[in-house]
Amino acid sequence: MEKNDIAIVIPAYRASSIHKTLYSLSAQTDRRFTVYVGDDASPEDLATIVSGFEDRLHIVYYRFPDNYGPEKATDHLKRCLGLIGDESFICILSDDNELTSKCIRRFRRTAASYPDYDVYHWNCDTIDVRSEVTEKGRRFRRKMTVGQMFRRVFIAGAPLSVSSFVFRRDALLNALSGEETLAKATLAALFKAAREKGVLTVRCSRVLLRRHPDSLSDNPATAAETAKAVFSFLLWTEGFFAMEEYPASVKERMRLLAAQAVKMYPAYTADAIRDMYLEARVFDGGLRKMRGRSVLKDYLSRRTGELDSRQSS
């Protein structure tokens, strides 16, 4: 692996924690990488913060003229990816997450020993606004298929963030195409990029995921939209996994969807969960047939559409 063959892309907006993100990169024991900061027309002065690290990092900063916001996060990511050079590997790092000091060093060693993978992974811990660890995340196995990763995250509860993955360049760019309308497009791209070869976990290093009131998933004002995005992704997986290899039972999948329905439709929680769970049981047998998967997906999409209409009226 050549010098500076890793692009760390930061789609940036918040000034509150990007300093800590960049500091964690400057503290890497191996700094053979380039940082690309794409400013989503933030009202805050990100340029000054970034310039403070130019003597410690190989860093490229660009301020885009238009703000895309959370609704067009995938579009903003794509224009940020347009900033990179000819690096072979890409890490998409959120502007409020951090890498522990040996992440890049350990990744390089792992990629050199296992060069056939398209997707590599660091385990995650959760931190607070002071960068103190508040929760140790469940660890991934050393080698995992996408089905095993799905179960580890959605059934066992391991933390998942695109920030905790390093992608081979072509695998990521190819996987991102065609999912522009999906709210969790980057998550879908992760599954697509890892589908053929699986995921290899880099040992003895971690990504620190920050939770604070500004996070979309922790903000009551955006919780419903975040839940809808997760719901949409779960429906997407119905078509992604082949019938014989879906990594969760019908009951487990309905529980996952119901958990998001609680957040999506708080005023109709009892009706939503009772109807969606009990009625969907009729598809249990049908799911064993090739057409059953699409029937369940269409049904759930219709039911959530009906609830959207009721809640807006």
Length in residues, the chain: 313
* pLDDT range class, residue 29, cuts 50, 70, 90: very high
- Give me the mean pLDDT over the 66-70 stretch: 92
* pLDDT range class, residue 257, cuts 50, 70, 90: confident
- Give me the mean pLDDT over the 240-244 stretch: 75
**Amino acid 77: pLDDT:** 94
Other beta carbons less than 10 A from residue 145's beta carbon:
17
**Amino acid 249: pLDDT:** 83
Q: Are 99 and 25 in contact (CB under 8 A)?
A: yes
* pLDDT range class, residue 33, cuts 50, 70, 90: very high
> CA-CA distance, 163 to 308, in Å (whole number)?
31
**Is residue 80 scored above 80 in pLDDT?**
yes
35-44, 46-55, 57-66, 210-219: range with lowest mean pLDDT: 210-219
**Is residue 291 scored above 50 in pLDDT?**
no
Give how far Cα 198 sits from Cα of 64, 130, 195, Å.
35, 34, 6
Give, in degrees to the nearest 5, the angle at Cα 140 between 254 and 191.
60
Q: Are 185 and 74 in contact (CB under 8 A)?
A: yes
**Amino acid 9: pLDDT:** 98
- pLDDT tens digit sequence for 120-171: 999 999 999 999 999 999 899 999 999 999 999 999 989 889 999 999 999 9
| More confident call, 282 vs 20 | 20
Rounded to the nearest integer, the mean pLDDT of the chain is 86
**Amino acid 90: pLDDT:** 98
CA nearest neighbour of 276 among 237, 305, 242, 238: 305
**Is residue 277 scored above 60 in pLDDT?**
no
* pLDDT range class, residue 104, cuts 50, 70, 90: very high
**Amino acid 198: pLDDT:** 97
Percentage of residues in the chain having pLDDT higher than 70: 79
> CA-CA distance, 92 to 89, in Å (whole number)?
10
Contacts of 103 (CB under 8 A, 6+ apart): 28, 122, 202, 205, 206, 207
- Give me the mean pLDDT over the 284-295 stretch: 49
**Is residue 64 scored above 60 in pLDDT?**
yes
**Amino acid 146: pLDDT:** 96
- Give me the mean pLDDT over the 113-118 stretch: 97
| More confident call, 234 vs 88 | 88
| DSSP conformational letter for 161 | -
| More confident call, 58 vs 181 | 58
Q: Are 63 and 47 in contact (CB under 8 A)?
A: yes
**Amino acid 288: pLDDT:** 47
* pLDDT range class, residue 289, cuts 50, 70, 90: very low
| More confident call, 55 vs 252 | 55
